[in-house]
Structure 1
């Protein structure tokens, strides 16, 4: 077995997808190891989870930096210190600068709670219900300068039920996210998917 790829996870909150990735990486034959968790919020509960797993953590507040670019440069410095091969965005509620996304192009992935290209951005479940779609889901995609526009790696679908609310639909999609994200990262780290412009 070749060496495991070194992966960092970026979070802003509780990091439920982070937890799914950490759990998957426990398997001896999983091709990734989680080497660091970064948050733009020092109080993010997910940081405590990562620390309890013995994973390195770091946080930086945007308010400490004069520009978004300066923040992203500091973030890159942290990631390079951890010597990461790939980055997973897991509820990282910050739009990254084009220079950051281009620097990590093909090495950064994100999970989004819709069947992209539908419902980019926020409030995906409410928008899907308003449109009365028959199915919803989630997408793991490469991070590019355009918001939620990178090439898709994998998708999972769920039916939309007649009595769904944004919360019930979100909960059902989240269950699939926790299965899909580890599988997509496995494909990436094993070299089974690569970024193509």
Structure 2
């Protein structure tokens, strides 16, 4: 049941991000440095521990492909959520063209030098004329093999978060397709 809640949490993050569009104005009431983004209607950017990155990169490597999200043009958020008295944190991103999105989450509270087990992860590809392709955290592996997220920095100076991760994703939820996915992130508030 707990894994199901974590996956639902990740889907909520990605669904909220799907309507995301960056603009240049900063609306009154948002945290200093947060750009106007339709994400703020779905995720409360004023919630403690939730931030829209303004600079930095999120790199996702799967097989022989690398997907790079750049906070200067794409939307990348660090999100903290309290769900049924359980705390979760994660990183979610969508490219400017809205054709690739990625999210990864973990149970617990984010802080520097955190190395914790992945609770949910998803990589989605979509095109107007074809069905979406989705890679999700495989339900066919044990919890200890789901992967790790390592935060080496968190909210230090202008760094929002910096670290690495690895996880095992399954294409379209199939038991026979496993892809080790690794990545790095170095996200900044200004």
Higher normalized strand content (fraction of residues): 2
TM-score, scaled relative to structure 1:
0.29
TM-score, scaled relative to structure 2:
0.30
